[in-house]
């Protein structure tokens, strides 16, 4: 199974990213490969003005990813992943990509059944209160 790991760097010693849509890169790994060969996919949505989670979800789905390991995921991205049949797993932010792969292979990562972060729509500098006069 092809899995994507949200990371802050570009190797197996990179730390897990706290966010999905704006993580710097994804490590794409075959979960059955014991050598842990990986491909780095720079997040195409990292600099997106809006909709980063949805764009990142679509990119991973187009690469055939069936599971994602990350620190957290917002509601829009989770919905896109779920509709594409991608399973989301939550990993500890103080773990590396390699540690997370090991936990995935052992079956000890927590499967997530709903978004873990609130949406950001309308959460501008004044909490979505709009312009003040």
pTM of the model: 0.82
For residue 35, the model assigns a pLDDT of 80
d(CA 9, CA 51): 22
Average pLDDT along the chain: 85
pLDDT one-digit tens code per residue, 89-114: 999 999 999 999 999 999 999 998 76
Higher-scoring residue by pLDDT: 28, 128: 28
Which pair of tokens denotes residue 132? 């003040």
pLDDT value at residue 33: 82
Q: Structural domain boundaries of the chain? A: 2-112
| pLDDT above 50: residue 84 | yes
Written out in words, the top-level CATH class of the domain with range 2-112 is alpha beta
* pLDDT exceeds 90 at position 50: no
Give the pLDDT of residue 118.
55
Banded model confidence at residue 56, pLDDT cuts 50, 70, 90: very high
Once rounded to an integer, what is the mean pLDDT over residues 44-62? 88
């Amino acid at each position: 199974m092809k899995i994507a790991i949200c990371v802050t760097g570009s190797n197996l010693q990179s730390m897990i990213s706290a966010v999905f849509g704006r993580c710097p890169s994804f490590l794409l790994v075959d979960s059955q490969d014991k050598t842990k060969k990986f491909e780095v996919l720079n997040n195409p949505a990292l600099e997106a003005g809006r909709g980063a989670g949805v764009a990142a979800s679509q990119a991973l789905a187009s690469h055939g990813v069936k599971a994602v390991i990350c620190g957290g995921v917002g509601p829009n991205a989770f919905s896109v992943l779920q509709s594409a049949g991608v399973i989301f797993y939550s990993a500890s932010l103080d773990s590396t990509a390699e540690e997370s792969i090991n936990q995935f292979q052992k079956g000890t990562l927590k499967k997530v059944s709903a978004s873990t972060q609130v949406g950001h729509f309308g959460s501008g500098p004044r909490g979505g209160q709009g312009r003040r006069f």
